[in-house]
Amino acid sequence: MNNTPKCSDEETRQRLQKAIAGLVVECPQGHKNPTMCPLYLVRSKRSATRSKWLESLSSEDMAFVADYHRVCLEWQEAGCP
């Protein structure tokens, strides 16, 4: 049995926002802003616009962004393009 306490929906949302806040500013891999990234267009916007966009995402969408970047990092570390 897993005794790990479950986060509330709001806690989960706040953790996801915190986890991806930096991703909407720049690529964590040191790339300028790769066109293949789902955040490419968002990164080109003003800070206030990026913040509003991030706040408008559902928890599911934020989880997708976090997962996408986790997989991208794993691919980069494995030497894949």
Within 10 A of 23 (CB to CB), how many other CB atoms are there? 21
pLDDT tens string 8-22:
888 889 999 998 999
Euclidean distance between CA atoms 67 and 61, whole angstroms: 10
> Is pLDDT at 79 greater than 90 in this prediction?
no
Quick one: pLDDT at residue 5? 61
Q: How far from each other are the two terminal CA atoms of the chain, in whole angstroms?
A: 40
pLDDT tens string 23-70:
999 988 888 888 889 999 999 999 999 999 999 999 999 999 999 999
pTM of the predicted structure, to 2 decimals: 0.78
